[in-house]
Amino acid sequence: MPVEILSYISPELTGRLSRIPSFRTDFYSLGVVFYQMITGILPFISRNGNEILHAHLARKPTPVHIIRKELPITISLVISKLLKKIRTNVMHPLTD
């Protein structure tokens, strides 16, 4: 798979976890998109696909409020929550 695609993949879709992917994996990928939109960089940068996969599984990205100091902490917290790796800690759909 091209490195560019791996940059947006959720941990569940790496094929290295025993978890069954669900619609919640889209929240992780959305977090990557928001991260890149706000900071101008991806959360994990490498030319090596295995390094990117490992980062999605094991590393935490630098919080966006550290990169963009003028950014409200609330936005940084939302993006951090979207990028959580454990399924129980990711964003859940809004319900009435």
Q: Which domain holds residue 40?
A: 3-87
Which pLDDT band holds residue 87 (cuts at 50, 70, 90)?
low
Residue 58 belongs to domain with CATH number? 1.10.510.10
**Residue 74 Cα distances to 63, 65, 79, 81, angstroms:** 11, 9, 9, 11
56 part of a folded domain: yes
| pTM (predicted TM-score) | 0.79
Per-residue pLDDT tens over the stretch 36-58: 999 999 999 999 988 988 898 88
**Domain count for the chain:** 1
pLDDT at 89 over 50: no
